[in-house]
Amino acid sequence: MAVFEYTSLTKSGRQERGAIDADSPANARRKLRAANVHVLSLREGGKDAPRPAALAARTIRLRRIGARSVAVATRQLATLLRAGMPLVPALTAMAEQLADEPMGAVIASVRDAVNEGGTLAAALSEHPRVFSELYVNMAGAGEAAGALDDVLLRLAETTEKRVNLMNKVRAALAYPILMSVVGVGVVVFLLSFVIPSIGKLFAEMNRDLPWPTVALIALSGFIHKYLLALVAAAVALLVGFKFWIKTPGGRVAWDGMKLRLPLFGDLTLKSAVALFARTLGVLLASGVAILDALDIVKRVVGNAVLSSALEAAGDRVRQGESIANSLSKSGLFPPILLHMVAAGEASGKVEDGLLYVAEAYDNEVEAKVGGLTSLLEPVLIILMGAVVGFIVLAILLPIFDINQAIR
């Protein structure tokens, strides 16, 4: 099968380039006409010509596609399908709508793959940097059940809620992080470039200096002398840490440590449990089998310790145990989740209980982050005030002594 490059004319009158697989030029034109693409020119691209998925991947490398863009496109596609539009024309309409955005190239590639007879899930799986394993599996379940529009709406809602929560968390942490960075930068600048000059001035006076001034000058001299070495050591530690957490043992150790941190450990656990509960609930509601759903969730939950617990729970479910009992064996999941799952198993509506728990924990995480940031801001202000106050005191004490001596 050859690859043909084509130039088409959109409804807005703009020319667009693309590529399609076909046995012959006539077959390529037939496929493009079926996709409502108005072809201006068509030529065979040769063996080295980029495939549609490769063209989309190149676009993604230039500009990464965010989760919010995926959520918006998913909701638009679900709306078109719910209005009764067939899948290929719906994808064509979206490709034209998003022609000026990176997502448009991906949608066009997905449309071409579906138009050639492939499933939507298979077409989506060609773009793993855009569509997660969860997304692909849910789309496949929706296709199999004939409820693709409902599944896509669930996907859009799930993605939007997660993006909104993460945006709120980032917004709440932005000010404390900025304050910390600016404060540390100012202190390092003072110790590296300002205090050494003042220290020389005090040394020329041949007077005994107070201990705060001696300590400050010593610390300043050390930082000024070894600043590059300290920066290099910090960078080396950061790079080494990144390599370490990519190893299986390092990832498990780090994720376990995050769950045990004071204050933040409980927040990390509840955030991961909310993600687990919402993902599993949406998968089950979309018709995915429980064992397949647990296998998917363990790869998207984002914590190696919880992933290991979910893998063990999946093995117990496979042996005939209930979901609630299988999850309780790890000792990681909160009782409210286990009771909701047990009640859902008894009533046959596990997914509803999971989604309730996810909503509750998302709200709790949001409230807890807000409370922690409210606590962090005054603590940071007090710490920075203490550091700056110590520096000012260490500088002013010798000046007061000199002033007293002159009098």
pLDDT in tens, 230-279: 889 999 999 999 999 888 888 889 988 988 888 788 888 888 888 888 88
Q: Which two tokens stand for residue 4?
A: 């043909």
pLDDT band (50, 70, 90) for residue 10: low
pLDDT of residue 6: 75
Helix (H, G, I), strand (E, B) or coil at 286: coil
Q: Which whole number is the average pLDDT over 190-213?
A: 79
CA-wise closest residue to 105 among 169, 157, 56: 56
29-52 confidence digits (pLDDT tens) = 777 777 777 776 777 765 444 455
Do residues 107 and 98 lie in contact, with contact meaning Cβ atoms separated by under 8 Å?
yes
**Whole-angstrom distance, CA of residue 331 vs CA of residue 341:** 15
What are the residue ranges of helices labelled H in 247-349?
248-260, 264-285, 290-300, 304-318, 323-328, 335-347
Q: Which whole number is the average pLDDT over 18-31?
A: 73
**Whole-angstrom distance, CA of residue 182 vs CA of residue 189:** 10
**Whole-angstrom distance, CA of residue 29 vs CA of residue 35:** 10
98-150 confidence digits (pLDDT tens) = 877 778 888 888 888 888 778 888 888 888 888 877 788 778 777 776 778 88
The pLDDT mean for the chain works out to 80
Q: Which whole number is the average pLDDT over 211-215?
A: 85
87-106 confidence digits (pLDDT tens) = 888 888 888 888 777 788 88
Beta-carbon count within 10 A of 396 CB:
14
Residue type, 253: A
55-75 confidence digits (pLDDT tens) = 544 444 445 677 788 888 888
Residues 6+ apart with CB under 8 A from 224: 191, 192, 193, 196
**Whole-angstrom distance, CA of residue 118 vs CA of residue 10:** 24
Do residues 8 and 39 lie in contact, with contact meaning Cβ atoms separated by under 8 Å?
yes
Q: Which two tokens stand for residue 50?
A: 């980029």
Residue type, 64: R
Give pTM, 2 decimals. Answer: 0.66
Residue type, 42: L
pLDDT of residue 165: 75
Q: 104-117 burial string, b = 16+ CB within 10 Å, else e?
A: bbbbbbbbbbbbee
What structural domains and CATH numbers belong to the chain? 2-131 (no CATH), 157-407 (1.20.81.30)
Q: For residue 380, is pLDDT > 60?
A: yes
Considering just the CA atoms, what is the radius of gyration of the chain in Å? 30
pLDDT of residue 213: 84
**Whole-angstrom distance, CA of residue 127 vs CA of residue 106:** 8
Q: Which whole number is the average pLDDT over 4-23?
A: 70
pLDDT of residue 226: 86
Q: Which whole number is the average pLDDT over 13-19?
A: 68
Q: Which two tokens stand for residue 22?
A: 């076909």
